[in-house]
Structure 1
Amino acid sequence: MSDKRQKNQLVLAFPVEDTGEAPRAAGEGTESLTAKRQAESPAIGERLMEEVCERENCKQALARVKANKGSPGVDGMSVHELPGYLKQHWPAIREQLRSGTYQPQPVRRVEIPKPDGGVRKLGIPTVLDRFIQQAVMQVLQRRWDRTFSEHSYGFRPGRSAHQAVGAAQRYIAAGYRWCVDLDLEKFFDRVSHDKLMARIATRISDRRL
């Protein structure tokens, strides 16, 4: 076995502790580790919901929901109707969010046929709930994105599929020859929400979220 191949195997070896993260690159500094520890230990008394309800954050969330378009939820409200609804009802909705009394509506279940047979089950929230979810996500994303794996490219700001392709090309140029392609069957249907929410709770002290 060549020295180069041995070196590659060492780089690709799993860490001793199973953290669920990809192995860290040799050049990764301590800044990301510090950020990760800070995210795992949220500041006591942080008021994230106030950030969620800030005007600029809500404007960005509304623009994203409108750009994504999508079908109405169980209440039948379309994306085009949302701005007018918010203009009339936002003060009451904001108060519910700040007081921790807001209740999301049920999702509308739809089945999308798969090319190879069977159906893919989707849950479509109302456009109002999509707007609130987006506003919450933006606040959390600003805090948490820097703690995620540097090898993750999907659905992250400033990252793209083209960058993932570039990373793959660099691995090939470095001499790597193996690739694993996998898909977790019905992952979103089967993920444990209790475990997920418990993990999120360790990062958030504002219990209104």
Structure 2
Amino acid sequence: MSKELADNDSVIEKLMTVQTVDGNQKTTNLDRIGKCAEFKKDTVFNNIAYAVDLDLLRASYRQLDGKKAVGIDKVTKVSYGEKLEENLQDLLVRIRKNAYKPQASQLIEIPKEDGSTRPLAIACFEDKIVQHAVSKILTAIFEPQFLACSYGYREGVNGHEALRALMKCSNQNPNGVTVEIDVRKYFNSIPHANLQGILREKISDKRFLKLVEKLIRSPILVNGKAELNKIGCPQGSIVSPILSNIYLHYVMDSWFSEISKKYLKGRADEVRFADDMVFVFQFKEDAEKFYKVLPKRLEKYGLKLHEDKSSMIQSGSKAAKEAELRGERLPIYKFLGFICYWGKSRNGWWRLKFKSRSDRFAGKLKGLRKYLKESLSEETHKVLERVKKVVVGWMNYNAISDNQRRVDSFIELSKRALFCWINRKGGKRKMNWEKFGRLLKRIKYPRSFKTISMFATC
């Protein structure tokens, strides 16, 4: 064994232990896998089904949100926990004997801004435990493989960092080209055979791969009839985010990293959050090459480019300035719920800016008004807290540089909706705006906000 490998083994042994309550050192199976994946990136994992043990199942139970929608068996976290150890022991035996079979997931349709719907699979609580446990193992194995361009469903990174990365690489190309990519129904189009083939590059344990297959092929209730899921990783499943990330890592990220070094002349950057992708090129000819081969690359892996939602557009500060001289503006594009456009800074320099998409802005307010309309019989303080939580959540994501007006507008319009609701609920006992203002102050309804800078990494 080389000195380097020996040193790595020593580090792994040191890092994969954890302190127990009594002060003793305890090695967890999940930690062992994670550290091995981190320090020996070429490892192909075998015999990892053992990592689905009582400790992991118990931890998964604790981490699941008991307030989420229940599955078709109506079992809640509380009711499952009444005989927790007995239930987990029984579940583990079924998993080890290959007798575990997921129950059917209930399919609900979530409205989208364009009028279409997004199918969401609601699994039974016990199946959520298994999904969570499997996702933790997959994350431990594949997280060290992921590239810096990937920001979705990863610990330590988020959408704001993806926006900062996009701003940074866009500003570095004064006369570049941006390619906005949309994969048609990505989550529901992933071929299981292709996905399993990619998983086998890092995992050779047939029992664990079979468990993953059971989860992605688990039945879905359609019109009262349970049907096996033959394609795709349904959104709503806890294991879908990591599987979708693994698939696009191999289909897009690692492939783009390789071709950009070998075949492109200039700088080329990718910023991806799940299936939301933007590519920024220094030269137009490089962008054209990429855009030409992209559909074939996606089709090779069972995916299809959504041409109506994908585009190749000119970008950069120099290009924006030249467009202004012609009396024009550079085209806009969409990323992570924001409109991306080129505008002037306070000192007159052109740079990439972001503002909340109008359709999502309006959709959120529409949903808020609908909730208030349906809550006239609810207790006032509960409704106020619910609305406050929604507004704060929207602010926490949207309160970024250059988007202050949209956030101010959202706060003001939400207050007006609440004001109308309170007076409608009160009947003859009307509340004036001054008294309403005191009420909002008492419940600490958001008035001001701290802007999240998009310049931190620039």
TM-score (norm 1): 0.70
Q: Distance in 1 between matches of 2:182 and 2:204?
A: 34
8 Å CA contact retained: 2:52, 2:133:
yes
- How many angstroms does 1:163 deviate by? 1.9
Q: Over the residues paired in the alignment, what is the CA RMSD in angstroms? A: 2.6
Q: In the alignment, residue 52 of structure 2 is paired with which amino acid?
A: V
1:150 match: 148
TM-score (norm 2): 0.34
Map 1:26-175 → 2, pairs under 5 A: 35=41, 37-38=42-43, 42-43=44-45, 46-55=46-55, 57-66=56-65, 69-175=67-173
User: 1:29-84: per-residue Cα shift (whole Å, max 9, x none)?
Assistant: xxx9x72x33xxx14xx3322212141x33432233226x4211121112333323
**Unmatched segments (≥5 aa) in structure 1:** 1-31
1:59 to 1:165, Cα distance in 2 relative to 1, 3 A: farther
Matched pairs, number:
171
Name whichever structure is richer in strand by fraction: 2
- How many angstroms does 1:179 deviate by? 3.0
User: 1:104-140: per-residue Cα shift (whole Å, max 9, x none)?
Assistant: 1111111223333232222211111111111111112
Q: Distance in 2 between matches of 1:162 and 1:63?
A: 28
Identity percentage over the alignment? 25
Greater relative contact order: 1 or 2 (C-alpha under 8 angstroms, separation 6 or more)? 1
- How many angstroms does 1:157 deviate by? 1.6
More off after superposition, 113-122 vs 147-156: 113-122
- How many angstroms does 1:85 deviate by? 4.8
Q: Distance in 2 between matches of 1:78 and 1:179?
A: 47
User: 1:81-110: per-residue Cα shift (whole Å, max 9, x none)?
Assistant: 332353331111111112222111111111
Larger Rg: 2
Q: Secondary structure at the match of 2:179?
A: coil
Q: Distance in 1 between matches of 2:92 and 2:187?
A: 29
- How many angstroms does 1:155 deviate by? 0.1
Q: In the alignment, residue 120 of structure 2 is paired with which amino acid?
A: L
More off after superposition, 81-90 vs 92-101: 81-90
8 Å CA contact retained: 1:48, 1:206:
yes
Q: Distance in 1 between matches of 2:61 and 2:178?
A: 39
